[in-house]
Structure 1
Amino acid sequence: MTTNKKECETKKFRKYNIQLEQIQRIHYQDPKVNELIKNNQPVLITNSSLVKSACEKWNTDFFEKYLGKINHTVYLSNDHNFKYFDEKKVLSETNPKGVEFTPKTRRLDMEMSEFIKKVKEWKSGDERLYLQHTLNATMGNAIVADYVKFDWRFAGEIRQKNNWGELTSNVLFISMEGNVTPCHYDEQQNLFAQIQGYKRCILFPPNQFECLYPHPVYHPHDRQSMVDFDKPDYSKYPKFKDVKGCETVIGPGDVLYIPIYWWHHVESSMEGGPTITVNFWYKGSPTTIEYPLKDYQKVSIMRNVEKMLLEVLQDPKEVGPLLRKMVDGRYTNP
């Protein structure tokens, strides 16, 4: 199964005041797919069989039947935004160097049957739910049987042609209608495969870093934008007015390549029921320095500089002022 452009345009998503182009939708056998991947450019890959075995079976009824009594990781939120946070960076008795932080989401272990029941019975004012769980052998024979039938040859060819590292994980995402994973970037290559329902994916290249105002590396929301896309504060984040990105709607059978260090803002359609997605995370290529440096390599350098300063200074509050002292009047006005 694959999604055509007309179907995509009929789905209901939020509206943002952002300059966006359409991501190219290309048949998996077209050589241009790999040209784009090789150049770290996003592409919507159509008609592949990567997750065909799952598209034919996986829905909430199937999961309730075969996974009903198994615990899974479920996040809950009072609104539609599910912003990831790193628990290791939160202040606690065991982490005195962490940040005082109150997350807007909470995590629970929940049986699949309970999760599905809550989703079906959800009403306005209730907490929203989002299941995110790593696919592995503990998921049961029925899931494993379909998992091994994924088109691993197709995924392996992409990995080999582009010299990616090993597959680190496959994560199953089951989302309520209208849920949003706010804008962030990952430090891995990502094949984002849709199984049920529709998602809108907005992507920004690494060179839009300063327009998206990422949290500092020490913050629990590291790798995520501080800008609220629903109500952007242009007085606080003025460069966000100039941000430029691209978008696509991904449907059953589609696979979106999200390049390493590319920002992505992902939302489930506000109609049509729960969405089901599986992603394939791969380590990036072994580091080779070639000049001029690529934009994502520059982002990696900036992250490492922040981490180094934090390690030396021992106080997050000193990192920003020191960086400003280094630059002010020296590089801004040469």
Structure 2
Amino acid sequence: MEIGLTTFAETTPHIGTGYLPTHAERLREIVEEIKLADAVGLDVYGVGEHHRKDYAASAPAVVLAAAAMQTKHIRLTSAVTVLSSDDPVRVYEEFATLDGLSNGRAEIMAGRGSFIESFPLFGYDLQDYDALFNEKLDLLLNIRDHEIVHSQGKFRPSIEGRGIYPRPVQEKIPVWIASGGTPQSAIRAGQLGLPLTLAIIGGSPLYFARMVELYYEAAAQAGHDLNTLQVASHSHGFIADTTEEAIEKFFPPLQRSMNGIGKERGWGEYTHETFDFARSIDGALYVGDVETVAEKIILLRKEVGITRFMLHTPVGSMPHEDVMKSIELLGTKVAPIVRKEIDRWEALL
């Protein structure tokens, strides 16, 4: 059971003080967060790609590279790379470079993108949303598997026998398929034999058990070794010494962030009642003290089959020291509880 973190490098005003971190400040904080996550024994850290004012990381590979030389063990991944609006050649070159700098710890989490700012920015039509992703994923996997690439494309110029460099330290850089929970994405990942990441950020996490079943069924039908496959979750949350402290510090920035995005997407108001259900044992928020969060991660492993859990914190901007304390608790307190229980449980199976 791997445990780690993700971030979107949010840059919104702090609740209470109104302090607005600069993009540069937030990026430097993320490098410090990755260093701490490595030091406390966490397995993975992911940085999401966005192209808007309230997020600082438009180039995740650059941020991860800054941390690569200051860490030793933690795996470094995008979360996600918006592959539909990017060039798979450049994506591969950037993450192969990261792999070299980190001595084999780079991963790519590829997705269509729930934020769409990159499409008009780079000149792509949203009507081609799915076709773009499918073509570019095929090319990325082609590059991963072959040093000399031959490809034909509709959206990207063809490649006729060109070498793509540098090559990575790993035999193959892991490429994860990121999904918001659609059956089609789970099935596609299974057919390709790629690891799957599920964004479990609303409703009941147990709903995603069916997505995992579909994933493994598709992989089995395609002839892949199920023992080599992985399923990750990405969920919002925050850990403090007490559940009361976690609620007090996390709810206000979360509410403002969710309501801000909600206005763009036509969602209803994010209320404290919504929050209280989401942080309950049946909800998708991992907010509370060490024991509360550990219990929910264990449930997710047992009932859904997650093999990697990634806590996304913060959601709206929070004081850096609070984020660092949450990371410390995840690594030194929560992860040992989860790993011990999962080891005990699997030994009985």
TM over 0.5: no
Shorter-chain TM-score category? under 0.3
TM-score (norm 2): 0.26
TM-score (norm 1): 0.26
Ranked by relative contact order (alpha carbons within 8 Å, sequence separation 6 or more), the top structure is 1
Larger strand percent: 1
Pair member with larger Rg: 1
Larger helix percent: 2
